[in-house]
Structure 1
Amino acid sequence: MSANEPFVRADMQAFLDMLAAMDGPPLADVTLEEARGAYLALHAMADAPARELAIIKDLTCPGPAGDIPLRLYDARDTREAGPIITFYHGGGFVIGDLNTHHNLCTEIAAQMDLPVVAVDYRLAPEAPFPAAIEDCEAATRWIASGPAELGREVSSLVLIGDSAGGNASIVVSQALAAKPAAVPVALQVPIFPLASDAIGSASMEEFSDGFVLTKASIEFFELHYQPDKSDRRAIPTLAIHQNTPPTLVVTASLDPIRDSGRDYAAAIAAAGVDHTFIEVKGVTHSFANLRKAVPGAQGDLERIFAQMKFMLESAS
């Protein structure tokens, strides 16, 4: 590695070499159905197996355009009142669903020993911006209300998501800061989030191709999602709310949208928000869903969980 080349961890490089050898078509060259199937297949191949849990249960809640599918995960059959983790999946608001992130959600529930509710929001282009965000906010408010269907008494919320879901975690947190839900947000955890406009950033140019998420893929997602970049629901760094909850921002050093996550961390730091910033070195976007193919990602994820536990304990 020359001084000008980015550090790539050995386990990550092995996975990148495997992807390059597969030489799959770019997203823009396949149908939406094929793109969604490929995303599911990638995680099925690359992520660690799902954990066995006491409860894995599909639910629905009312949404602005009909019922929103949800999935409840819990390592315990019953528990006392406490926080509930609300999870928003990645996929550029175009691909991804409850199944693409199922294994990761079981891991979060097992490691955090807290209930997790995953939100299956509407996708673009069938439902462009801001439909996904509207669903995520509606589902989160429903969860906060402690509905009987959950079988759990909710004391606070932990909002977490990866990539597009990281954007959703920030934007829903802002909505709940402006108009509180039935219980407070104790912690938000945007993982490699899209928080500022990544187009034109240094990381976008440096990691435009060959690092899992590509510039072409991001352009594909934007084409379908149609975000209004003057709206904080698309670009949450436009308006940092004074009541932003404690925040753990996680980025990946080889990610084209790395600088977007850095921008958000800098913005909340400037606003005086209680926060921690972790940049995982030598890994790409989506590392949290690559734990079988990239074994070190398990330890990276456990480091995130340890910090989440510390921050939740500090707040209680």
Structure 2
Amino acid sequence: MNSKLVPAVPLDNVAVDAVDLIRAFRDGGAVSFQDQPLDQSRAAYEAGCAANGVPFKALERVEDLHCEVNGGSIRLRRYRPEGNDSETARAVVVYFHGGGWVIGSVETHDRLCRYLAAVSGLDVVSVDYRLAPEYPFPTPLEDCIAALTFVSVRAGEYGWDPHRIIVAGDSAGGNLAAVLASDPGCTVSGSTIIGQLLFYPVANLLHESDSYARITDGFPLTAGSMRWFRSLYLADPQFARDLRVSPGLRQPAELAEHGAPPAFVVTVGLDPLADEGVEYAGLLARAGAPVEHHHLPRHSHGLFTSAGKIPTGAKLLNRAADWLVELTG
């Protein structure tokens, strides 16, 4: 962003607990993901998540597992909190990181997943799915299906209940979680998804909502960022019509027939994804799913990977963990 230009959204419109981060971003030149080479964008995202994430939580066990996928294997990181070694099979959270299907990894979301595991008392399995443009759609989604299959097949070995799986994710990871919870073709035999935790999810890559026009500069994620991510994820723009890409295109009756599981949804107003996220929460509710939806009009995308610096993010992460406890009993 040219420093002489005034961002479309003034700092006065940003929440008090988030304004310092956005001011620093703008003072530093407001370089968004699409404004730098891909390798630099990936490195910058990892550094930002490490610097701004929630405090590091030591757990009883953290281990990397390997899941076979088409053409190789991917890493799954299992987080087991203290006191989760009973003989009774426990519910498990399968987490898909954000980053536009292009950046991000289990490392960028390590602190977030540790935090969810520690506060909820549940195992969390973070999925290091392969990224575009090296591996465009449908590979990232297929990797996530393979991860769900791993959790189901190996449940007995790790103390998980394959019929009590919660899918979770932020941004593009929220998209992958939403697809897995809504698409009959993604169903994994021998497993049941009982909940979905969606942090500012991508719900519709076919249509740009009004929030794209509102968030054009001044934030790490802008409309331009989303167009860049979309162009790298979808080798053919027509793939945006695929319900495995745009779950927000589904009708309530379709979701109801498949059985929409309970959802915890967080959307933020200063985000090109704001409107489609709000619409998706409403779609789930119309399909009969119990939905707890939190909308924060003055916060921006990346709230949870910056929750170490933004108290509202930490507060909502705690509420998300409590929701997991309530859901799993």
Q: Cα gap change, 1:180/1:121 in structure 2, threshold over 3 Å: closer, same or farther?
A: closer
- Show the counterpart of 2:94: 86
Structure 1 position 99 matched with structure 2 position 98: no
- CA offset digits 1:42-101 (Å, max 9, x no partner): 111111232000111000111122212100001136233110100000000000001000
Equivalent residue for 2:215, pick from 207, 213, 219: 207
The correspondence for 1:63, drawn from 69, 75, 94, is: 69
Matched, 1:235 2:246: yes
Identity of aligned residues (%): 32
After TM superposition, the score normalised by the length of structure 1 is: 0.91
Counterpart residue identity of residue 96, structure 1 = G
Q: Judge which range, 286-295 or 157-166, deviates more.
A: 286-295
What secondary structure, in the 3-state scheme, does the structure 1 residue paired with 2:231 have?
A: helix
2:28 aligned to which of 22, 27, 30: 22
Give RMSD over aligned pairs.
Answer: 2.1
CA distance in 2, matches of 1:199, 1:178: 23
1:212–1:27 Cα change, 3 Å: closer
Query: Which amino acid counterpart does residue 265 of structure 1 have in structure 2?
Result: A
Alignment-derived partner of residue 196 in structure 2: 188
Using the alignment, how far apart are the partners of 1:183 and 1:248 within structure 2?
20
Q: Which amino acid aligns with 2:260?
A: T
Q: Residue 238 of structure 1 aligns to which amino acid in structure 2?
A: L
Conserved? CA contact 1:53–1:110, under 8 Å: yes
Rounded to whole Å, the distance in 2 between the matches of 1:42 and 1:11 is 17
Query: 1:109 aligns to what SS in structure 2?
Result: helix
Gaps of 5+ in 1: none
**15, 36, 51: which one aligns with 2:42:** 36
Counterpart of 1:223 (choices 211, 217, 231) is 231
- Answering whether residue 318 of structure 2 is matched by residue 311 of structure 1, we say no
Q: Does 1:124 align with 2:132?
A: yes
**More deviation, 250-259/95-104:** 250-259
- TM-fit CA distance, 1:230: 1.2
Unaligned runs of 5+ in 2: 1-8
- State the match for 2:262 in structure 1: 246
The total of aligned residue pairs comes to 310
- Alpha-carbon distance in 1 for matches of 2:316, 2:284: 23
Query: Is the 1:198–1:260 Cα contact (8 Å) retained in structure 2?
Result: no
Tell me the distance in 1 between the aligned counterparts of 2:207 and 2:216. 10
Give CA-to-partner distance per residue, 1:270-294, whole Å, 9 cap, x none: 2222222221342111101112222
Q: Does 1:286 pair with 2:289?
A: no
Query: Normalised by the size of structure 2, how large is the TM-score?
Result: 0.88
Q: Is the 8 A contact 1:81 1:155 kept in 2?
A: no
Deviates more, 1:166-175 or 1:302-311: 302-311
Letter aligned with residue 151 of structure 2: I
Query: 1:268 — aligned with what?
Result: 284
